[in-house]
Structure 1
């Protein structure tokens, strides 16, 4: 068995413009574009505070990743540090768990793509849309890896422009005193773009404390995958410059892209009438009668989901390749074979095959919302990986490798326990809502069963 760290089968060839835009794109995803509808429906304007609190926690978490990668960027992934500082068995557990996470991300993004396409094709089955999307993105991932960086660069530009355009439109409509008449569930509704849509009868828990707590899961899902920033930074020409720059810009991006976008949505339309199962970015324009803008935004959020699926397929495939190289005992040899242009094609086939569970989920009647179910599974497993990383960071700080002159996590003795508390609160919240209970139990079963296996397996 190979015990050294295995690099990616092909360098990404990322330039600084790629890493900066991909870093921005990592803070804008389906959790915001689609998941915000449900969180707004559950908690109203107070959801902004949830995004701020979890955003702060994620920034500190990324600083812990940044500190490790800055000290040793040759590791390529924050996951490799678990093997280095905790042990090979823990590293085995966290690497396979993270790979499973990426598969669930693929499933989540596929369900989102189906929802977006149904905006134009409401009578086409979700499962069919998802299968077609998977085939197209599979084909894209068979191309040269350098093409990945360029594709994500342009996807990122579209997403950033959409958010800024959304905020700018809200400001324009607000100062233009725009009013509208809409029809909601067969009843006429008149309204206006106004700050009062947020402040009128404001309540921190308009639908109860438990709804507010339950919404934390989807907020957390909106921030997951941000660690990809640190993982791609290792592929740049100057990681010691790129890592701090990319991570330190996260707080500003959270304020602009998350808080700004949510406030814009709720300023344009009364939050109590925004549908929970659709993208609020699209529906606010649909409801106020600007249908061309709704169609444009739907195209943008569709490209966002396609971008996220593209990234997840790419990452899950490379992770599978790396795992097969490290833990091959004659069973995974086929997954280490590369195509002529350096693509681990068999690993890509495996990931795509598992992603086909997305259309299967939409056909199971017991699952009311396939996206919520997949997003819950993703959040659960991400949190397990995050908990292991925080322990890894603790072990690093206690080791001789700790560099007090490096890119340090600010006030780590205070901030890291704060992050742990927030992550624990989110994980516990998953057990208090019917939509997230079974995914939460599944994550516990995986952690216990696979944890025991990882602990007892021969090295």
Structure 2
């Protein structure tokens, strides 16, 4: 009898609401390219210049270390999602294994992280737009981009998948062309107008590895975390993916190869051509590579690519943020109107609310017109919330291993290293969070973010959420 009531709870609490279903219309190619697009974001194209300025050539080590641990976060998430296909996203998992309060805090925090990240992305779109039109105020292209993205997300989810597919293709082709171009320049010992000879030796030249000591190396993790924000987007597409047992493992298992190609190899090539000391901290090193090499036309093309990349990342953020609100409404933890779907199965009211909040964030450009200043503030807030999200996924995995051993035994996609590796990764993420206190430009956000969590705990206490919000523990189906 007890078991029967728990089963009923699943359909009530994490099952689709009576007013509609999210449709499983995202195909394998959509999921794979959304996963790649999520991993190649604004942090790589815009923020990597700042990381190189701080960490020198040890930027490669920063991305490799973070990428290593991120793989275990994603594998843990993959096992959890596939343990029960009624989980629509990792927010449902957290609500199940850590309790409804944790699910509430995680869902709203993830919504905020994407809302903030989208603001950061459209701010960067504005910065790249100013490459061609320096006299145009940054807020104009930023607000135009926001309205365009909201319009795209009003369309069917398949259209979203298609847009992201082509955005990701553009990014991949651009990075591959950049790598090939840089390798040719290195092979021919190309000399830039400022006298720098392209060579892999720039990676190990005197003073290049830790130019600002360990503090500069550690400070690089903030932008690196922001760069990888969106990799977990695979976990919010789960409810709209065809054949998730095939597509999700494939998307997760290719993460190390993507990091190796798109981050490490691309940055090695940039530093080898430009030299780390000549990479500007406040502009895109991808654009600068071609400018310093004397190819302004190619630099303009790359500027267009990184602009579309930032728009793609913002597009993913708008999608992901409104899906989180939809999930909250389903569990009675957000106004019921956010759970209503349009005729195209899009959570239109949660999309409009997210869009209004994002537009409010863009007004920061009126207060702080310097794009990089706004970007640093925004990316730090996003990094803190992303670390929190990844940590909650790991904590849920540890709880799952204790509470649902049968589900783990039946899993065809077990997380490597199990609980010990999840615990080590959790400690590493807490360490990265502490690193944000090292620099003044990241410290401010770290001090203020606890207020957000206190507010959420207070809001949860005031809500009328029933104690049966969390789903039952799956038996391994």
TM-score range, shorter chain: over 0.9
Secondary structure at the aligned position of 2:150 is classed as helix
Aligned residue number for residue 21 of structure 1: 33
Q: 2:14 aligns to what?
A: 4
What residue is the counterpart of 1:369 in the other structure?
A: 373
| Cα pair distance change 1:414/1:336, threshold 3 Å | closer
CA contact (8 A) 1:6 1:326 kept: no
Give the structure-2-normalised TM-score.
0.89
Quick check: 1:197 aligned with 2:209? no
1:201-245: per-residue Cα shift (whole Å, max 9, x none)? 145421122222112111111111111123324433321122221
Aligned counterparts, 1:10-159, within 5 A: 10-11=22-23, 13-159=25-171
Alpha-carbon distance, 1:334 to partner: 3.5
Matched, 1:278 2:278: no
CA separation of 1:59/1:455 partners in 2, compared to 1, >3 Å: closer, same or farther? farther
Match of residue 321 from structure 1: 326
Query: Does the 8 Å contact 1:110/1:358 carry over to 2?
Result: no
Cα distance in 2 for partners of 1:10, 1:291 equals 46
In the alignment, does 2:260 pair up with 1:248? Answer: no
Cα distance in structure 2, aligned partners of 1:252 and 1:357? 37
Deviation at 1:30, TM superposition (A): 0.6
Contact kept? 1:268, 1:284, Cα under 8 Å: yes
Aligned position for 2:432: 426
Aligned residues: 450
Matches of 1:171 and 1:159, distance apart in 2:
18
Question: 1:5, 1:440 → 2: CA distance?
Answer: 36
Q: Is the 8 A contact 1:82 1:91 kept in 2?
A: yes
Q: Which residue of structure 1 aligns with residue 191 of structure 2?
A: 179
From 387, 391, 403, the equivalent of 1:387 is 391
Q: Structure 1 residue 200: deviation in Å?
A: 1.5
| Deviation at residue 294 of structure 1 after TM alignment | 0.6
Question: 2: distance between equivalents of 1:359 and 1:232?
Answer: 26
2:303 corresponds to: 298
Q: For residue 363 of structure 1, give the secondary structure of its aligned residue in structure 2.
A: helix
Residues 374 and 447 of structure 1: CA distance in aligned 2, closer, same or farther (over 3 Å): same
Q: Is the 8 A contact 1:159 1:304 kept in 2?
A: yes
Match of 1:184 in 2: none
Question: Cα 1:442–1:9, aligned 2, differ >3 Å: closer, same or farther?
Answer: farther
Of 411, 417, 424, which aligns to 2:417?
Answer: 411
In 1, distance between residues paired with 2:117 and 2:47? 14
Who is 1:341 aligned against?
344
1:446 counterpart (447, 452, 460) = 452
Secondary structure in structure 1 of the residue aligned to 2:140: helix
Distance 1:89 1:358 in 2: 27
Q: 1:167 corresponds to which residue?
A: 179
CA distance in 1, matches of 2:409, 2:333: 37
Counterparts of residues 215-226 of structure 1 (less than 5 Å): 215-226=220-231
Per the TM alignment, residue 453 of structure 1 is displaced from its structure 2 partner at its CA by 4.2
Kindly state the Cα deviation for residue 440 of structure 1 after the two structures are TM-superposed.
1.0
Q: Please, which of 309, 314, 319 is the counterpart of residue 309 of structure 1?
A: 314
Find 2:402's aligned residue among 395, 398, 403: 398
Change (3 A) 1:263 1:162: same
Distance 1:90 1:355, change over 3 A: same
Does the Cα contact within 8 Å between 1:30 and 1:304 map onto a contact in 2?
Answer: yes
Q: 1:21 to 1:134 in 2, by over 3 A?
A: same
Instruction: Give the CA deviation at 1:387.
Output: 2.0
226-235 or 156-165: bigger deviation? 226-235
| Alpha-carbon shift at residue 161 of structure 1 (Å) | 0.7
Name the residue aligned to 1:257. Answer: 262
- Cα distance in 1 for partners of 2:426, 2:345 equals 39
Q: Is the 8 A contact 1:9 1:344 kept in 2?
A: no
Q: Is 2:23–2:345's contact at 8 Å kept on the other side of the alignment?
A: no
Q: 1:228-243 maps to which residues of 2 (within 5 A)?
A: 228-243=233-248
In 1: Cα distance, 2:440 partner to 2:270 partner? 27
- The runs of 5 or more residues in structure 1 that have no matched partner are 182-188
- 1:279 Cα shift? 0.8
Q: How far is 1:109 from its partner? A: 0.9
Cα distance in 2 for partners of 1:98, 1:313 equals 12
1:254 shift after superposition: 0.8
Aligned twin of 2:6: none
Aligned match for 1:357, one of 360, 363, 366: 360
Deviates most, 6-15 or 21-30: 6-15
Inter-partner Cα distance in structure 2 for 1:223 and 1:96: 20
Any idea what SS the aligned residue of 2:196 has?
Answer: strand
* Conserved 8 A contact 1:90-1:455: no
- Which runs of 5 or more structure 2 residues have no equivalent in the other structure? 1-8, 467-477
**Contact kept in structure 2, 1:21 and 1:156, CA below 8 Å:** yes
- The answer as to whether partners of 1:12 and 1:146 remain within 8 angstroms in 2 is no
